[in-house]
Amino acid sequence: MSIDNEKTQRLVALAKGGDQAALNQLCCVYSERVRRIIRFRLNRELRSKLDSVDVVQDVLILAMGGLRDFTYQSEGDFLRWLSRIAENKIRDIFDEFHADKRDIRKEIPFKEHRRQTGSALGGRLSPIAATTPSVIVRKKEALDRLEKALDELKPEYKQVIVLKRIEGFSHAEIAERLGKSAKAVSMLLSRAMTALTIAYGKD
């Protein structure tokens, strides 16, 4: 399910006013995009240990709970806002994962540990329609292939592709985040996309 900028603005305004149907529709429409952001940002080791549906729910819960703090100014703002929340959540998961690895007393698998400690909120809410198992299974083959190709790239190539193609940041925004000029970002993205095409075509 896709959504245009005008409709997103309308749904955000309604959701801020307490419209539950609008809130649910935002979750349904954007949950798959959030899932892709999470999957592509995680490294291979963490992807194998996490239930991405749980993490998607965590991110959407945080986003919808803080929706009153969000201000819509231009096209793509909402997705970029979700991306920043996802990035912070992934950073927390990464820290938690490595803390667990350092604690040799931990015998509970990482995924199960997150469920028991409440770090992932799956199970506390009703399932999100756009992240049901049937949808995930239907897209899994293509997603796995793209993940594999991205994993083969240089970290800077993977980063710029995710920022631009998955999260929707502009060249100027990426340049600010990476400490590069917009022209350098454009050249980096071009090289990264060429490398991705080669890696993707190997299978």
The pLDDT tens digits of the residues spanning 123-180 come to 333 334 444 444 444 556 667 788 888 888 998 999 999 888 888 888 998 999 899 9
**Which CATH fold topology does 5-139 show?**
Rna Polymerase Sigma Factor; Chain: A (1.10.1740)
Which of 28-37, 46-55, 191-200 is least confident?
A: 46-55
Q: Which of 193, 189, 199 is nearest to 151 (CA)?
A: 199
Res 175: pLDDT: 93
CA pair distance 136, 116, nearest whole angstrom: 24
Measured in Å, how far apart are the chain's first and last C-alpha atoms?
28
Residue 28 has pLDDT above 60, yes or no: yes
Domain borders along the chain are 5-139, 152-203
CA pair distance 157, 167, nearest whole angstrom: 14
pTM here? 0.60
Q: Are 46 and 94 in contact (CB under 8 A)?
A: yes
Q: Are 157 and 192 in contact (CB under 8 A)?
A: yes
Q: Are 79 and 73 in contact (CB under 8 A)?
A: no
**57-62 long-range CB contacts below 8 Å, 24 or more apart?**
57/120, 57/121, 57/122, 57/125, 57/128, 57/131, 58/89, 58/119, 58/120, 58/121, 58/122, 59/34, 59/85, 59/86, 59/89, 60/27, 60/30, 60/31, 60/34, 60/128, 61/121, 61/125, 62/89
For domain 152-203, the question of CATH label 1.10.10.10 is answered with: yes
